[in-house]
């Protein structure tokens, strides 16, 4: 067959020069150089398991609980499997008689299927399934008020809840609204979770870093924040957004109620939107107490009528962390408070551009905020599973923390929450010079050597931001067992000896 072919010179492919510059600039260290190297080593181990001084990679670079052996909660997975394959419900007598499913998981799955209109394969409304948003509202109100809320309050709160595909999507939706261009500034804690620096870079807005105080357990200093706001305004930058991560990632620090009040005061005085990333609110250890921004703002509004009416707050939560650890299933919510109806409509439009968040993720949000209650068949098992996961996390965090506190050349603040330790590395000049020779940052050099000698994959502190001249790394304490900690200890002592 002959084709009537036009003659032309083929156009070249796009190169990096053609790509949106802010996308090239944006960085996300958690899946950056060290984790990429870890993946290469993982493949090498698959091809030849004896080719490296360790048998497997320990992925301590990311808070990915179920990759590191955390078990899913039975009740949640029972419901999930039923909503995925509702035909099972036709045989519910058999499922119950054989004790394959609990009675309340069958009831919940039936109810949820009803709420979503029958199938997880169908789109939901863009804001999220209304019944689920009402359960989120009940959860928020009970968490903050400690008593059963009225129906009116539930309905009003539910109207301000957006179900999202994890907290990351919530940030993608809300941050660009107020990070318009280079004339807008976004206040970010340093160190921070790099989703935020990346999001601000993508928007070509101005990063306004505020440093957390390491020597005072990574506390937040509202006076410093206010000074940064004042300085930015002097330079014609409008600080529009202030991000707080509470409990902190990577620091594990929990904000005191007084600091939260001071931050809200700044937002009220200078008209700054607060994004309160509270995805680790369940990961709170021992004597520390989590105060939600929403609760503190509501109290201020009640105690000082009109002063705080214009404060605009977006609070984020997720199924990825806590004792759920369902990060692969992508679910979360954003609750907005104090925004005008016009802005709310824009947010709804933004959500509608991606049609809706994953419906199974929405269902997991329901299960997170509305777990089995006393008297339900699953209640005791669910409570047991939760408390085992929670106490395991405390045990693991303390074990790793204890090792770091006794090793030379490393110091570490005691974690109050979240899933990470962010120890400081006190590196010698020799180590710094060796890094420079390889064109690596000193903390990157340490993390690379740690990976290549032990298989432990961490993230250099430079990926989160750190005070100039200091070096850190972030590790989760999630990996099971103690061997990886022992091999880290051995590596560290050898590294310190080699680069004295
Ligand atoms: C502080 C913080 N915010 C947001 C996220 C992203 O959460 P999600 O999985 O819900 O998108 C993470 C993930 O590690 C995080 O640490």
Q: What is the pLDDT of residues 158-191, one digit of tens each?
A: 999 999 999 999 999 999 999 999 999 999 999 9
Residue 168 Cβ inside 6 Å of ligand 1? The answer reads: yes
Comparing 458 with 500, the larger pLDDT belongs to 458
Our mutation pick for probing the ligand 1 site, out of 65, 246, 249, 459, counting the most ligand atoms within 8 A of Cβ, is 249
User: Nearest residue CA, atom 14 of ligand 1?
Assistant: 63
In the predicted structure, residue 3 carries a pLDDT above the cut 80: no
**295-346 pLDDT tens trace:** 999 999 999 989 999 999 999 999 999 999 999 999 999 999 999 999 999 9
Structural contact between residues 318 and 330, judged by C-beta atoms closer than 8 angstroms: no
Q: Is 205 in the pocket of ligand 1 (CB under 6 A)?
A: no
Q: Is the CB of 192 under 6 A from ligand 1?
A: no
Residue 227 Cα to ligand 1 middle (Å): 28
Q: What is the mean pLDDT of residues 99-105?
A: 95
Classify 22-68+385-499 by CATH class.
Answer: alpha beta
Question: Using a 6 Å cutoff on CB, does residue 157 contact ligand 1?
Answer: no
ipTM greater than 0.90: yes
To which residue do tokens 């109806």 refer?
A: 341
> What is the residue extent of each domain of the chain?
22-68+385-499, 130-369
Task: Please give the number of the atom of ligand 1 that sits closest to the Cα of 320.
Answer: 9
The band of 232, judged by pLDDT with boundaries at 50, 70 and 90, is very high
User: Is 315 a pocket residue for ligand 1 (Cβ < 6 Å)?
Assistant: no
Give dist(CA 211, CA 201) in Å, integer.
18
Our CA dihedral for 337, 274, 279, 245, rounded to 10 degrees, sits at: -160
Specify the residue with its C-alpha closest to ligand 1, atom 10: 166
Residues 6+ apart with CB under 8 A from 142: 148, 149
The DSSP result for 108-174, as a single string, is HHHHHHHHHTS-TTS---TT--HHHHHHHHHHHHHHHHSSPPPHHHHHHHHTTEEEESSHHHHHHHH
**Ligand 1 site, residue 245, Cβ cutoff 6 A:** yes
* Residues in Cβ contact with 34 at an 8 Å cutoff, skipping those fewer than 6 apart: 61, 444, 447, 448, 451, 457, 458, 459, 460
pTM, two decimal places: 0.94
Task: Say yes or no: CB of residue 65 within 6 Å of ligand 1.
Answer: no
| Ligand 1 pocket check for 201: Cβ under 6 Å | no
> What is the whole-number distance in angstroms between the Cα of residue 171 and the centre of ligand 1?
10
Question: Is the CB of residue 371 below 6 angstroms from any atom belonging to ligand 1?
Answer: no
Cβ of 491 closer than 6 Å to ligand 1, yes or no, is: no
CATH architecture of 130-369: 3-Layer(aba) Sandwich (3.40)
Q: Are strands 420-421 and 471-476 parallel, antiparallel or unpaired?
A: antiparallel
Q: Is the CB of 332 under 6 A from ligand 1?
A: yes
CA of 279 to the centre of ligand 1 (A): 6
CA distances from 371 to 19, 323, 368, 382 (A): 46, 12, 6, 8
Count the Cβ atoms, other than its own, within 10 Å of residue 4: 4
């Amino acid at each position: 067959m002959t084709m009537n072919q036009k003659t032309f010179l083929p156009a070249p492919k796009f190169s990096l020069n053609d790509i949106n510059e802010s996308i090239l600039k944006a960085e996300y260290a958690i899946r950056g150089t060290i984790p990429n190297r870890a993946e290469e080593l993982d493949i090498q181990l698959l091809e030849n398991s004896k080719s490296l001084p360790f048998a497997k990679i320990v992925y301590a670079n990311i808070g990915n609980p179920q990759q590191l052996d955390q078990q899913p909660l039975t009740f949640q997975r029972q419901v999930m499997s039923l909503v995925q394959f509702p035909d099972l419900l036709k045989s519910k007598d058999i499922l119950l008689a054989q004790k394959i499913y609990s009675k309340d998981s069958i009831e919940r799955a039936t109810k949820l299927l009803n709420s979503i209109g029958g199938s997880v394969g169908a789109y939901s409304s863009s804001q999220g399934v209304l019944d689920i948003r009402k359960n989120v509202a009940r959860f928020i109100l009970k968490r903050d008020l400690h008593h059963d809320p009225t129906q009116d309050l539930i309905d009003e709160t539910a109207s301000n809840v957006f179900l999202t595909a994890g907290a990351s999507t919530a940030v993608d939706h809300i941050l660009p609204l107020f990070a318009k261009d280079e004339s807008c500034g976004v206040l970010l804690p340093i160190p921070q979770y790099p989703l935020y620096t990346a999001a601000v870079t993508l928007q070509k807005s101005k990063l306004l870093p505020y440093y957390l105080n390491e020597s005072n357990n990574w506390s937040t200093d509202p006076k410093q924040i206010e000074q940064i706001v004042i300085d930015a305004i002097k330079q014609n930058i409008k600080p529009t957004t202030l991000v707080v991560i509470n409990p902190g990632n990577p620091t594990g620090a929990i904000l005191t109620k007084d600091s939260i009040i001071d931050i809200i005061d700044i937002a009220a005085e200078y008209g700054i939107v607060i994004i309160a990333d509270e995805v680790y609110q369940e990961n709170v250890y021992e004597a520390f107490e989590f105060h939600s921004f929403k609760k503190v703002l509501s109290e201020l509004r009640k105690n000082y009528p009109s002063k705080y009416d214009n404060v605009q707050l977006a609070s984020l939560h997720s199924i990825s962390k806590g004792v759920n650890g369902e990060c692969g299933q992508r679910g979360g919510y954003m609750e907005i408070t104090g925004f005008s109806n016009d802005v709310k409509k824009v947010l709804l439009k933004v959500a509608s551009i991606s049609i809706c968040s994953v419906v199974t993720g929405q269902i997991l949000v329901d299960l997170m905020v509305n777990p089995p209650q006393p008297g339900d068949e699953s209640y005791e098992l669910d409570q047991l599973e939760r408390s085992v996961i929670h106490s395991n996390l405390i045990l693991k965090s303390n074990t790793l923390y204890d090792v770091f506190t006794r090793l030379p050349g490393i110091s570490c603040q005691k974690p109050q929450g979240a899933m990470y330790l962010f120890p400081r590395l006190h590196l010698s000049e020799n180590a710094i010079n060796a890094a420079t020779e390889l064109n690596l940052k000193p903390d990157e050099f340490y993390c690379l050597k740690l990976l290549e000698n032990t298989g432990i994959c961490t993230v250099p502190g430079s990926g989160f931001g750190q005070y100039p001249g200091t070096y850190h790394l972030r590790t989760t304490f999630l990996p099971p067992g103690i061997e990886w900690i022992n091999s880290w200890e051995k590596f560290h002592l050898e590294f310190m000896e080699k680069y004295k």
